Structure formats: structure tokens, C-alpha cells
A and B are shown apart, each in its own frame.
Chain A
Amino acid sequence: MALVILRRLAQALITVAVVLTLVFLLFSVIPGNYVSSLMAEKRGVDPAVAARIAASLHLNDPTPLRLWHYFVDLLHGNLGVSFSTQQPVTEMLSGRIFASVRLALAAISFAIVTGLPLGYLAASRQGRWVDGVAMVFAVSGLSVPAFWFGLLAMYVFSLQLGLLPTFGYGGGDLAHLVMPALTLGIAPMALLARTTRAAVLETRNADFIRTARSKGMSEGRLVRKHLARNAFVLILTMIGLQFGAMLGGSVVIESLFAWPGVGSLLIQSVGLRDIPVVQGCILVIVLFFLAVNTLVDIAYLIIDPRIRYK
């Protein structure tokens, strides 16, 4: 197990390096840079001043050199300073990470708590009307864009019923968390419901289950012992993917609900071409993803002993 974790760490390191390099390179070839975003904002930055700003931010250095400096700084734990706010990137990120993770946790909890039972229910009533209703419900979750759901939730819970605040972070209270979490969680919920249904049906027909059934094991025990365990491999994969991608996938929802997360910072910084912040956000999103999926991989080992990592 220790070896597995060590390998995962090495892999994670490489992934992080590759992603950061990739994004860095992407942003050095696309049109526009920080100075052009400044120019979009105001009148006549004196060309000399613009050049000086560009020079002080090393925008004109060759890309490999900038990349090298970035990684050297990174190795010293220095994520750089934002071009626009002049604040250290770590400082800008620290508050946002907590808000983002909180939102993601709430969303995935909602998705698991509702998606799993729904999918299981559908599988155990395969082909019946319950199945149909559950799946149409699940598909609705997948076929309406998040911003649409968010607006609808606002309309119902805030404007019509007056139950929840429309947007904002509040003091970190629960009331402000509910709507963004539901909105973010609805697509993963639907996906989980469908994956669960498929996984349960798949494993139910697998050889070993039929063997167990023919040996006279009761349905209840079958579910608890084999079915759940085997279906969980698929379900866990889906949970890991969904949860891991949430930090980067909540951009629209964060903007809609004025939620102070990493995603909205990322989009804002892309618009400004504030590269250190873009890189910082990507780093957080990637690390979160890797952490979640390493946990999922470890969970595989525990749940399904047939999986072995060499």
C-alpha cells in the first residue's frame, strides 16, 4: 500500500508539471497579454509606460526562460504575484480554496445521497415505470444547463418562496450554500444515478453473482456482499471523476451565485491574462483532482481485492 501511494505521488508530480507547462505554453501563444487587458480598460497608456510594465512583468522574455523562472519560483513555494492585484497568488487563493472545497463537498454529498438510491431503485425495477420515471428524472439533470437550474432555483426559493438568500457567501452559513450546492450537484447526481443503474445491472448478470444465486444465497445477502462491492468500482470511478472535476467545473455556478471560489477567479484571470493567478488556480484544481482520485484508487484496493497494482 505504501508503495502504491508513493507511486501515485510520483505520478501526481509529473501530472502537475505537465499541466502547468501546458497551460503556460497555451497562454503564451494565444492573442493578448496583461498589458493589452490594461489597454482595454483605459485611455492611452503611454507606449513607453506600457513597455516598462511589460518589461517589469517579464512579458517579453522568451517563453522557455519565463517557464524556467516560474518553475524555479514554484520549487521555492512561490506562486508569484498577481499582475493585476499585486497580491501574492497564494494569498489570493487561500480564501477561495476553502469556499470552493466546501461547495464541492456539499454538491457531491447531495449527488451521492440522492443519485445512488435513485439508480439502485431503477435497476431493481428495471423496465418498470419506476425505472422510467427515475431515468427521465436523471436525464433532466443532464440536459438542462447549470445556469438554467441556478436561475430556476433562485426564482423559486428566493423570489417566490423567500426561503433562501439569492446569492453571496454570507458569513459562511448553510443557507447561502444550499442553492449553489444543489445546482452544482444536480448533473453529478444524474450521472451517478445512471451509472449506478448500469453498474448494478451489469454486475447482477456477472458469472460470480449467478453462481452465488444458484448456490441459493438470498437476494438481500447477494446485494450486500457481492453486488454492492462490485458495482462500487464503477460508481466510485464516477464519483471520483465528478468530485475531482468540481473545482474547475463550477465556474458558471460560482459566477451566478457570487460564490468566492477558485473557478470564478480562474475565468476572471484568463480574461485579464493574469498568468500567475491562472497558473495558481490550475495548480489548485489539478492538486484537488489528483488528491480525490488517489483516494479513489486506494478505495478500489479495499473494495475489490481483484484489482492489484503491481
Chain B
Amino acid sequence: MKRTQDHHRRHGITRRSFFSGAGALGAAAALTNGTALSALLPTPARAAEAAPMPGGTMHLAAPYGSALKSLDPHATWRSQDMVVSKAFHRSLYSWDTSKNAPAPDLAASVTAEADGMTHTYKLHDNAYFHNGRQVVADDVIWSFTRVMDPDKGFPGAALVANIEGADDYAKGKAKTISGLKKIDDLSFQIKMKNYTDPGLLFFDGVTSILPKEEVAKPDFLTHPVGCGPFSFSQHVAGSSISGKKFDKYYKPGKPYADGVHFVITGDYSALDMAFRSGELDATVLSASAYALYKNDAKLSKGLVEVHELFTRHMGMNLKMKPFDDEKVRQAINYAIDRDLIIDKLIKGKAFKAVSWLPSSSIAFDETRKPYPFDVDKAKELMKASAYPDGAEVTIWATNGTNGTGVAQAITPYLAAIGLKVTLKVVESSVLSDALHSGTAQAWLYSSGTGPDPIAALRDFDSRVTRAGGNTTGFSDPAYDKMLDDAAGEVDPDKRRKLTMQADGYIFDKAPVWFFNTNKAVVATQPWIHNVGGNVTEAAILEVDDMWLGKDAPGRS
């Protein structure tokens, strides 16, 4: 699943899921919870939590830009918008941060049928939209069908497309999606095209369940209506958005807070100061602020560190010299001292990448060792390559530490093995144009590499276009077959093994320089409780689960 993050910087917040008791994790859990994930779980901010206390207004941040793109949750896959839509909307699943796996949300139960592709759902019988109408099976079918609308180009289409018949609907060959079947008002079936766990696909805001009658109203774009814990109250475009507690929310007693307020800004220095002056209950941190908070006795207590499912890398265009030679690509992976860059430039706010899949991925191979920093080996490889005299390389990057900053840091390392770097600074949309058209030679980027590992590895599938995510133009039938074998395997253990094997293949072929996976850090005030770490996007907080202590400023 390739979701590119807002490039400049990123960080995040999340929840601790309350779903531990919800019985029917069903097929979802069976398929995904194969590995021991406890070691990868986010570090809790505070160990013992008292009984939740209702009331107060939570002050949070939408920390990736100075505006929201859309209040229609289907229309945007920006982390920025999803942070906010979590308060107003719900999906079939949510990401359970305590288990590091998807958990049913609006779905009260999920049962996998014998074929491994059909899933039967039962919705909660007490879920209501903010307009008072009950959430029923038709709403799910209508919402998923809307996401596939071929005229809209909604981002969630890439997810819903895994349902049988979704493509035909999108191409206009069918009036409905054949894989979506209503059983009764609260029950329905989803038939997938493959063995992908639907929980890995339908937990984000892009597949929110929306009320048809409200979406049809012209003011839906300014007054969103959903079935989330808070109902919309005010949006000051470019500044803030707030909601108030929805009394008919389906989870009894939740949300705890009476209201939620998000300030909309991409400025980390400002977020840092607002947090330290007590105006924010929680916020994500920049690398510099992290360095500061970590060394402060008081501030360090509230830090939640999250190992996110995003892989930062330098992509290489395999159709261009010198990257058509895998020895050059491998040499690059040997030539750069990533530990030093992460320590000094990123200030420790990242984990060294091993291969394409991050170590928090369910298909991560614990036995694989990262490329060591070995200049001699790198020089050897260069000498043996088709470019023993070196080459010129133009690296495209956006402005910021993770773009131009990293590019400058690797320049001397590449120079040492004969690669002369020129830096090209571009806007993110220009960069994406260049990647999709194959005009960039090398680039610094961050790609979403989870939660579904097979989808993440499709970024090197030769049948996937550059625009579809195969930006390096990697093409290897043997690899395609590995992926297909993995995707066609029902047994979770075998499936994971095959996926690991594919990841290892990418590791050897090195179509990218594996740099790091993001360590998102959330700072929390002592008075806010139940803030968890969401590896899929740390900035997305489970607001229905958080509560304010009695000394919180949000209570006055």
C-alpha cells in the first residue's frame, strides 16, 4: 500500500484501542497476527491509567499543513485530513494500536467463509449517524460504491478495487459492485478478489461509512456528517476545526471528552511552543524538538514513540545510467553510513531500514541483516560494475531535512565511490510528475509500506506502472511470480514466508537505497490519557478513547 506522506516532515499521535474485549477479530486477526508483535508495540506514555473521567475539550493538532484539503473523508488520503476525519467518521475497521493490527470498528463481527475470500459482517445495532439515522448495511455498500465512482477518482478506490466486481463497476461494465451483498439490514458480505485481509484495507478515513442523504446535500462539504464520536461544530478554514460530543455514539460511555479542537498548522516550532505553554494536550514533534524533549526530565515522560510503516529511501531509475547496473545500486547501499546520518541529522528520530518492509511490518524478516557501512566493499562493487570510473547522478528532492538535508548528507559518501551528485530541488507535485513519467534519475522519497506487506511490495511489480507505484521501473518476472505466489497462499504462515522471500529479493537487487523508517514521536501532557501510537500514521489519534484528567486546561 503506497501512501506517500506529506513530504516535508511527519510525525504523529494515536490511540490505544479499547477493542481488546471485542470478540470477533475473526479472520482478520488470524491472518495478520502471526508474528510476535509485542516487541514492536509503541511505548506507552504512562503505565497505569486511572478510570476515565468524562468531560472537557481536547486540544489537538492537524500537524501537516496550514489547511485541510477536504472535509469529505473519501476525497483525501492526506494524513492531515485523516487526523480530523477520525473524530467525525468511522470505517468498518480501525487500527488497534494495542495489538498493532486492524480491529473491527463499525463491524460488530466478521467471519471468514471457507473460501478465504468471502467475509460476512454484522454491524453494531446501535450505531447512528449524527443526523439520528441508524447505520445499516446499505450505507456500507453505498459508501464503498461511491469510493469506486469512476468520475471522482477517490483515493480509496485503490483499496476497494480488491473487492470482486469493483473494477467492472469502475469501468462502467456493471451498475453495482458484485462482491458487495446485503444479507439483512445489519448484515452483509464482502467477496474479495484475493486473500487480502479486508481489515488491512478498510480502516482508514478514505473508506469511511457515510450517510447517503447527507452527502447529497450541497453543504456536506462544509458541514460533514458521519457516525464518529464527535459531531462537526465549526471549521475556520486554514486555522482550526472542532467538534462536540455525539451522544448517540455507538460505544457506550464514549467519547469521554465533551469536545475536540484541532489547530491546523504545519509549523513544528509553533506546535512545540504551544505544547510547552499548555495549549495543546498532545502533538507530534520534529527531530529537533524530540532531541530537546528526550533530555528533559519532565517532557520526556509524556513521549509516545511510534515506529511507522513508511520507508524512506532514495529511489533509482533503473532505466537510466548508472542505475541499470545492480552493482552500482548495491555499492550505494554499502557506501553510506546511515547510522551516523540518523544519529546526527535526523537526531535519532528514525530506525535504520533493512529492506523495503519496515521492521514493524508483519512480514519483516528478523534474520536479515541490513547492508553494513563498508566503503571498501562499495568501491569493489563499483570497480566490478559497468561504471568503474563513476558517474554523474542528479538527485531530486523536496525542501526539508528529509529531502535536501539527506541529499546533502549522502553527497560526500557517494563522491567517495565516484558518484558525483547534483541536487535538484522541486515541489512535491513536480517530483511526483517526474516519478510517474520516469524522468527523474534518483530521488528521495517516503513510501507507505504497510500494513499490507504484499501491497507494499507491489511497488516493484513489473505490471504496476510508474504512476501506480513502481517508480523505479523494476521489472523481473521471477519477482512478480513470488508476489503472486504469496498473494495466492491461504495459509498465513506460508504466506508470510513467501512475502519475506520477495522482500529479500528486493533487498538483494537494491532498486532503492534503503534509508530509514520513521520514528514518529507524540508528546503528551500529563493530564491526557490513553494516547497510543498508530504505526500506520502516528498523527491519527483515536479520539473516542482519550480522556482528560481533572487538572487539564481543557476543563476550564
Contacts and interface: CB of A to CB of B under 8 A. Distances in A.
Direct interface between A and B, CB < 8 A = yes
Interface string B434-477: 00100000000000000000000000000011011100000000
B270 A52 contact: no
A127 B389 CA distance: 65
B66 to A, nearest CB: 5
Contacts, number: 169
A42 B427 contact: no
> Which residue among A46, A158, A159, A268 has the maximum number of chain B CB atoms within 10 Å of its CB?
A46
Contacts of B469: 43-44
A105 B236 CA distance: 20
B239 A259 contact: yes
Given A154-B270, A265-B67, 14 more contacts: A32-B430, A40-B433, A41-B155, A49-B157, A52-B151, A85-B69, A86-B72, A87-B222, A151-B273, A159-B277, A255-B66, A258-B270, A264-B67, A265-B238
Contact of A256 (B267, B430, B468): B267
A49 B467 contact: no
Interface stretch (A60-68, A164-172, A232-240, A298-306): A164-172
Given A87-B221, A258-B238, A260-B237, A49 B153 contact: yes
A42 B69 CA distance: 13
Interface in A43-60: 43-50, 52-53, 56
Nearest to A91: B222
A158 B433 contact: no
Contacts of B153: 38, 45-46, 49-50, 52-53
A42 B429 contact: no
Contacts of A86: 70, 72, 75, 221
Contact of A95 (B236, B270, B436): B236
A85 B67 CA distance: 11
A96 B66 CA distance: 13
Interface in A242-290: 254-261, 264-265, 267-268, 271-273
A31 interface: yes
Interface of B: 1-4, 65-67, 69-72, 75-78, 150-153, 155, 157-158, 170-171, 221-222, 236-240, 263-267, 269-270, 273-274, 276-277, 279, 427-433, 436, 464-465, 467-469
A268 B270 contact: no
> Which residue among B157, B276, B277 has the maximum number of chain A CB atoms within 10 Å of its CB?
B277
Contact of B277 (A48, A162, A258, A259): A162
> Which residue among A44, A46, A259, A268 has the maximum number of chain B CB atoms within 10 Å of its CB?
A44
> Which residue among B151, B222, B427 has the maximum number of chain A CB atoms within 10 Å of its CB?
B427
B69 A254 contact: no
A169 B265 CA distance: 12
B158 A44 contact: yes
B462 to A, nearest CB: 14
Given A158-B273, A166-B279, A52 B267 contact: no
Nearest to B67: A268
A255 B266 contact: yes
> Which residue among A45, A50, A85, A255 has the maximum number of chain B CB atoms within 10 Å of its CB?
A85
> Which residue among B71, B157, B465 has the maximum number of chain A CB atoms within 10 Å of its CB?
B157
B298 to A, nearest CB: 14
Contact of B429 (A47, A162, A167, A273): A273
